[in-house]
A = this chain, B = another copy of it.
Amino acid sequence: MAINNVEALFAESLNELELTKKQKSVLRASLTLFSEQGFDRTSTSDIARVAGVSEGTVYKQFKTKEGILKALLGPFIQQVLPKAAGEFLDTFANTNVPDFETFLRRIVADRLTFFETNKLQLKIFIQEILSNSDMAATFINKTVGGAITRITAVMKFYQQKNEIVDWDPVRIVRYIMSTMLGYALPNLIQPDKKLNIEQSTDEVVEFIMRGIGIKKS
């Protein structure tokens, strides 16, 4: 039976969907092609050819071409921000609250790893969000909106402990995100280069801590 979009959108990741070999190969082919040429410049016959199946098979598995896109991006979108927000919450659940630098390092390493692992999805996602205003609006309202309020609370916490500067939490989050993006984006444009996670994490943390940290005297 053809994959239902809703089902795919709420699955934790592609691997956790029950997929046959052929379904996986169609998704894998689409992921490659979409990220290389863009969604619109990829034809369904291309996908079929690269996946090594007939075009009819593609349509037995996914009702529409856009269904493939949603199956690829759904799990990704679920994880871009909420996971980071989850980390923040975990910190509070933990009675032994780490200092800000430790906390920051954990998140940066986690998100950089995520970006590196999901490089192709990230590239497709950015393309899509820039040319599809519905998707942009949905993403901002549902995903970003929810994350902001939770993250804000954590920032205020560390501000009260006088570990970081007293700027608007949104501003601080912006810097953390954009500094990480500064490492991730060049890798999207030149996909052959691989991100050195450890070194990148060290550099990001070093820069951010100078930028927003407060030295204990």
Interface residues of A (CB under 8 A from B): 36-38, 40-41, 123, 126-127, 129-133, 136, 140, 171, 174-175, 177-179, 181-183, 185, 188-190, 203, 207-208, 210-212
Per the bound structure, the CA–CA distance linking A77 and B203 in Å amounts to 29
Residues of chain B lying within 8 A (CB to CB) of residue A129: 189
- Closest Cβ neighbor of A171 among chain B residues: B203
Q: Are B130 and A123 in contact (CB under 8 A)?
A: yes
Not counting A41-B131, A179-B179, a sample of 7 additional A-B residue pairs whose C-beta atoms are within 8 angstroms of each other reads A37-B131, A40-B40, A127-B131, A130-B188, A136-B189, A140-B190, A207-B211
- Among B123, B132, B182, B188, contact of A178 (Cβ-Cβ < 8 Å): B182
Q: In whole angstroms, how far apart are the Cα atoms of A44 and B189 in the complex?
A: 28
Q: Decide if A182 touches B189 in the complex (CB within 8 Å).
A: no
Q: Chain B residues with Cβ under 8 A from A177's Cβ?
A: 182
Q: Which residue of B lies closest to A127 (CB)?
A: B130
Interchain residue pairs with CB less than 8 A apart (9): A37-B131, A38-B131, A140-B189, A175-B179, A178-B178, A207-B211, A207-B212, A210-B211, A210-B212
Is the pair A182, B188 in contact by a Cβ cutoff of 8 Å? Answer: no
Contact pick for A181, options B36, B126, B171, B181, CB 8 Å: B181
Nearest residue (CB) in B for A180 is B178
A182 to B210, CA, bound (A): 18
Complex Cα–Cα for A40 and B37 (A): 11
Give the CA-CA distance A183 to B175 in the complex, in Å.
9
Please name the residue on chain B nearest to A135 by beta carbon. B189
Q: Of all chain B residues, which has the CB nearest A188?
A: B130
A189 in contact with B40 given A175-B179, A182-B175, A182-B178 (CB within 8 Å)? no
Q: For A190, give its contact among B131, B136, B171, B178 (CB under 8 Å).
A: B136
Closest 9 pairs (CB-CB, A-B): A178-B182, A38-B131, A40-B40, A211-B211, A210-B211, A178-B178, A174-B182, A136-B189, A127-B130
